[in-house]
Amino acid sequence: MDYKELFISAFQALRSNFMRTFLTMLGIIIGISSVILIFSIGQGAVAFVTNELSSFGTNFFQINPGSSALASLTGGAETITTQDVDAIRRNQSFTNIQEVGAFVTSTLTVSANEIDKTLLIYGMSPEISDMLKPNMVQGEFYSEESNLEAQRVVVIGAKAAETFFGKDANVIGEKIKIGNKTYRIVGVARSSSVLFGSFFDNAIFIPFNTARNEIPGGVHIREVDISVKNVNLINDTIAQVTAFLRDRHNLKEKDQNDFIVASATDAISTIQTITNMLTLVIVAISAISLVVGGVGVMNIMLVSVTERTKEIGLLKSIGALERDILLQFLIEAAVMSGLGGILGILVGIGGAFLVSILFGIPFIVNPVAILIAFGVSMMVGIIFGIYPARRAAKLSPIDALRYE
């Protein structure tokens, strides 16, 4: 039997039951579109994060206290001291090191303009601003001199400034109270990164040494950031600094590091790995809905075979071979799920485009993913179509003709 005729009759059969066909396809459409959508968003997210992190440059690495990522995140570990930072700064043998910055953090009540707010306070050495490269909306970042003299000056995040003083107010020289001490605002900063903006722009930055003197818990370093002159030698520098710190902390050879070192490149690749893994996991989960869609196809094909028993009997009486009947129903199932796949791809791409606009992440559509999605949708139709089609093909012509 020629394939053109088979496809024509498959389309005819599907069209004559339009609503049912569409509802069955919906399962496939949802499955395929969610796979395409999530995959596209995932890839967009990876591209976004990579971009964000690269915007700070890749020529630095960070040291966090604690022997595990968890300890360093919760801030419980206190294994890196100011003395460590000073020792790294003073060590002349680290020829590749450009700058060493460090910060402490604390959450405190900040008051200004008769408004009280609990905000994140960074006690930050000025070198960090060279690495984070914030946009100064007003004024300037506090100087090295302010840090050395432990002056009570602050740089305030753009959103925090708005909270206290209103939009577009000139806040340079304004007074702000942290705890019970009064500070003078010298600058308003906005993060150059969308990703970090949400907390950076709501934070308050005071000089590192000021924090050490005046902020409770201000002596415990949360992070040390070290920039290098030659990024190609960054791993050597990391090794040198690691050995140096281990020596200072009197760690024996078998002891683990009591701090965590990661380069910006490491961080990027870690986040890429995590995001990719998450994407794959969610894609795998949404692929389950494809199986559900496939079961829907099988179900409706079984109904169709039963409904068309007499038709099958008629076709057999005029000479249809088992293979002809099998192919007819198989092609119907494949056309149904294939069309569902195409619609699903279109919906998925449309959705991904909307998400990319709404969330400002890059719009990435992977042609390979689309081909795979289409192939999978066809496969789903064929796999789940086989059983009903075989049932149709195996019907005895007499029983089929007699069926009422």
Which residues of the shown chain bind another protein in the complex (CB under 8 A)?
A: 1-2, 5, 9, 12, 16, 310-311, 314-324, 396-399, 401-402
For another protein, give the closer residue by CB, 373 or 395: 395
Q: Which two tokens stand for residue 378?
A: 């066809």
Beta carbon of residue 272, minimum distance to another protein (angstroms, whole number): 54
Q: What is the crossing angle of helices 322-359 and 264-307, to 10°?
A: 140
Beta carbon of residue 316, minimum distance to another protein (angstroms, whole number): 6
Q: Which two tokens stand for residue 230?
A: 């030659």
For another protein, give the closer residue by CB, 12 or 113: 12
Phi-psi domain of 259 (left: phi exceeds 0; alpha: psi -120 through 50; beta: other): beta
Rounded-to-integer distance, Cα 395 and Cα 327, Å:
14
Beta carbon of residue 389, minimum distance to another protein (angstroms, whole number): 16
Q: Which two tokens stand for residue 287?
A: 């692929």
Which residue from 338, 347, 348 is spatially nearest to 377, judged by alpha carbons? 338
For another protein, give the closer residue by CB, 325 or 378: 325
For another protein, give the closer residue by CB, 19 or 318: 318
206 within 8 A of 154, measured Cβ to Cβ: yes
Phi-psi domain of 275 (left: phi exceeds 0; alpha: psi -120 through 50; beta: other): alpha
Rounded-to-integer distance, Cα 225 and Cα 232, Å:
17
CA distances from 43 to 52, 356, 357, 369, 372 (A): 14, 11, 15, 11, 16
For another protein, give the closer residue by CB, 12 or 83: 12
For another protein, give the closer residue by CB, 154 or 315: 315
Q: Taking the CB of residue 9, how many other CB atoms lie within 10 A of it?
A: 14
Beta carbon of residue 301, minimum distance to another protein (angstroms, whole number): 17
For another protein, give the closer residue by CB, 20 or 159: 20
Q: For 229-380, where are the E strands, in sequence order?
A: 259-263
For another protein, give the closer residue by CB, 168 or 399: 399
Rounded-to-integer distance, Cα 174 and Cα 139, Å:
12
28 within 8 A of 290, measured Cβ to Cβ: yes
Q: What is the crossing angle of helices 264-307 and 18-55, to 10°?
A: 180
